[in-house]
Structure 1
Amino acid sequence: MIEVTNLHKGFNGEKILKGITTTFDRGKTNLIIGTSGSGKTVFLKCLLGLFTPEQGSICYDGSVYSELNEEEQRNLREQMGMVFQGSALFDSMTVEENVMFPLMMFTKQKREEMLERVHEVLDRVHLENAEKKLPSEISGGMQKRVAIARAIVTRPKYLFCDEPNSGLDPRTAIVIDNLIKEITEENNITTVINTHDMNSVMEIGEKIVFLKNGNLEWEGDKTQIFKTDNKAVTDFVYSSNLFKKVRDAQLKGL
């Protein structure tokens, strides 16, 4: 579990996060949503330890990050896996080498042990026959699965995903959503996903945090978000005709 208390962060005198308090549960897919400029990316980077908040605290399973010494903070960060928006794979490395990279950086395992783990996670994301290919030789959806495999290869306690469906077609996006959810449940990971994709909210939104202008405007789950009377949330959710139809259908079923 990650517990966030009264988190403030700003740059050059401009406040970006304005006292956010929330929790992200272990074994669930926790989503951060909001319009551009709402503070989603800054919030995610604070959770990753990349930004230091001016006020407030972030507690990881009982350990308050700001109270840890440098070595303890480094050890905690090694328990975090990250799926980047553009996958961020190394172009000159094969799929196998990309996934092995964190093991080479953060462990002292023998090569045989690393390869065994790499093949294990590649099997889990259904890329059994792609290990010798370069990123340019596989599809965008396959690249995203490689990024997920790399993020979980070190068996992290915390998994962070920044717009994991960016650039994917709707069908592939659903596959990625479900894969992240399955891995979260199987490994009892605390997963936090920064997204603007309402399809992801509908598919895997077990906990949703909606930010607006640096404030936590609303939180709930994927069923509650369609019933809220919070105007900022409804404006965001029903900004397309598709979700207006979803709302109307849900209201008729109440």
Structure 2
Amino acid sequence: MITVDNIHKSFGDAKILKGISTVFDQGKTNLIIGQSGSGKTVFLKCLLGLFVPEQGTINYSGTNYSEMDEDQRTELRQSMGMVFQGSALFDSMTVEENVRFPMEMFSKKTPEEMRDRVNTVLARVNLENANDKFPSEISGGMQKRVAIARAIVMNPKYLFCDEPNSGLDPRTAILIDNLIQEITKEFNITTVINTHDMNSVMEIGEKIVFLKDGVKAWEGTNQEIFRTDNEAVTNFVYSSELFKKVRKMYQEEQ
């Protein structure tokens, strides 16, 4: 669980986050949505510890980040997995080497133990026997699965995903969404996803935080978002023709 209480973040005179409070529950897929410039990326980087808020607190499983010493912060960082936009794989490394990289940096496993762990997580993302391929030899969807395997290879408590469906076709995007949700449930991870993909909102939005101009304008589930009268949310969400159709179907069923 991650508890955020009244965080503020500025760069010079520009106030980016203006008092955001929320809770990201363990074992759930928590989504951050909002227009470009709403503060989503800065918020995610605060959660990752890359930016330090000037005001407010972020607690990880009950421990305040600002009160941690350097050893505790290092331990926290090692308990985080990250799926980057565009996958961010090393082109010169094989699939196995990409997935093994965090263990080489942060663990004391033997080469045999690392290979066993790599094979385990690659099997979990349905990429058996892809060990020796290079990123250029596999599809975008497969690259994303490699990125997920790398993110979970250290058994993280927290999984962060920045636009995980970027550049993927709709069918592959749904498969990636479902995989992230399955892993979240299976390993009881606190998963936070920064996205603009409305399909993701519908498919896996167990908790949705909507940001507008640096403030939390709304939060709820993917069911509650169909019923909200929050004008900021409806203006953003229902600009999608797909969402308009789904909302109409939902309202007809009530």
Shift of residue 129, structure 1, vs aligned partner: 1.7
CA-to-partner distance for each residue in 1:34-60, whole Å, 9 max, x for gaps? Answer: 000000000000000000100000000
How big is each residue's C-alpha offset from its partner over 1:172-214, in whole Å with a ceiling of 9 and x where there is no partner?
0000000000000000000000000000000000000000000
User: 1:61-80 maps to which residues of 2 (within 5 A)?
Assistant: 61-80=61-80
Verify: 1:51 aligned to 2:44, yes or no.
Answer: no
Q: Does 1:167 align with 2:179?
A: no
CA distance in 2: counterparts of 1:45 and 1:170, whole angstroms: 27
The equivalent of 2:82 in structure 1 is: 82
Q: Name the SS of the counterpart of 2:97 in structure 1.
A: helix
Give the TM-score of the pair, scaled to structure 2: 0.99
The residue aligned with 1:99 is 99
Q: Within 5 Å, which residues of 2 pair with 1:106-185?
A: 106-185=106-185
Q: Kindly indicate whether the alpha-carbon contact (under 8 Å) linking 2:3 and 2:23 is maintained by their aligned counterparts in 1.
A: yes
Deviations 1:100-137 (A, max 9, x none): 00000000110000000000000000000211000000
Structure 1 partner of 2:189: 189
SS at structure 2 position matched to 1:196: coil
Aligned mates of 2:232, 2:249 — CA distance in 1:
21
Counterparts of 1:104 and 1:192 in 2: how far apart (Å)?
Answer: 25
Distance 1:248 1:177 in 2: 24
Q: State the partner residue of 1:32.
A: 32
Distance in structure 2 (CA, Å) of the matches to 1:108 and 1:75: 14
1:48-85 CA deviation, whole Å, 9 max, x = no partner? 00001000000000110000011111111110000000
Conservation of the 8 A alpha-carbon contact between 2:198 and 2:240: no
SS at match of 2:159: strand
SS at match of 2:161: strand
RMSD: 0.5
Supply the distance in 2 between the matched residues of 1:30 and 1:241 (Cα, whole angstroms): 23
2:21 aligns to what?
21
For the residues of structure 1 that align with 2:99 and 2:191, how far apart are their CA atoms? 19
Correspondence for 1:212: 212
Q: Name the SS for the 1:49 alignment partner.
A: coil
TM-score (norm. length: structure 1): 0.99
List aligned pairs for 1:225-240, cutoff 5 A. 225-240=225-240
Deviates more, 1:119-128 or 1:70-79: 70-79
The unaligned stretches of length 5 or more in structure 2 are none
Alpha-carbon offset, residue 223 of structure 1: 0.2
The offset of 1:240, in angstroms, is 2.1
- For 1:3, the equivalent position in structure 2 comes to 3
Q: Distance in 2 between matches of 1:241 and 1:222?
A: 16
Matching residue's letter, 2:180: I
Percent identity (aligned) = 74
